[in-house]
Amino acid sequence: MVRLEIVSENTFFPVLKLKVRTEQEEFVSSNLISLAQAWLYYDKAKPYAIMDDDTVVGFLMFDWDEEERTVGIWRFMIGADYQGKGYGRAALTQAINMIRDTGKFDTVYLGYVPGNEVAEKLYYSLGFKDSNERDGDEIILKLSLTD
């Protein structure tokens, strides 16, 4: 069963070892960079290992902003060996439910790089909509939790 588990000393190195496919490297930062940013922005960054039982299959990091009532899905990746098995959908669904269940947020947002068609299709299928905002090359999508 897929679950999110805060990165700990048990999951730290398995998260670091995860890589996306070579052709996907332009779409997401390495997990090493992400975990370094989690340390730098510890007040808002929340890094999670995506687990299937005891196996780390992916990584997700939130940008948690209770004051603004928004949560960004700052990083999201499924390891190359685990792609195409439903882990991405399961993890994002769980993340959205976790955010919704807090009752502290109105909006979830995330970005993707044009050309990442798999991510684009997944995000739209889960109800995210184009915000007409851009962050550099990334297209920003939003999901309202108040509708």
Q: Where are the chain's structural domains?
A: 2-144
pLDDT band at 1 (very low <50, low <70, confident <90, very high): confident
Cα–Cα distance for residue pair 2/33, rounded to 1 Å: 24
pLDDT in tens, 22-60: 889 889 899 999 999 999 999 999 999 999 999 999 999
pLDDT at 64 exceeding the cut of 80: yes
The encoded tokens of residue 28 equal 């997401």
- Selected from 3.40.630.30, 3.20.80.10, 3.90.660.10, 3.30.70.20, the CATH number assigned to the domain covering 2-144 reads 3.40.630.30
Residue 134 CA to residue 25 CA, distance in Å, equals 20
The rounded distance, in Å, linking the Cα atoms of 29 and 32 is: 8
Contacts of 12 (CB under 8 A, 6+ apart): 35
pLDDT value, residue 26 = 87
Examine the pLDDT at 125 and tell me if it is beyond 90.
Answer: yes
Q: How confident is residue 147, by pLDDT bands cut at 50, 70 and 90? A: confident
Q: Among residues 33, 124, 28, which one has the least CA distance to residue 78?
A: 28
Average pLDDT over residues 88-107: 97
Asked if pLDDT for residue 101 goes beyond 90, the answer is yes
The pTM is what? 0.93
pLDDT of residue 87: 97
Residue 146 contacts by C-beta under 8 Å, 6 or more apart in sequence? 106, 107
In whole angstroms, what is the distance from residue 45 CA to residue 122 CA? 23
Our CA dihedral for 31, 35, 36, 40, rounded to 10 degrees, sits at 140
Span 118-137, mean pLDDT? 95
| Partner residues linked to 4 by β-bridges | 50
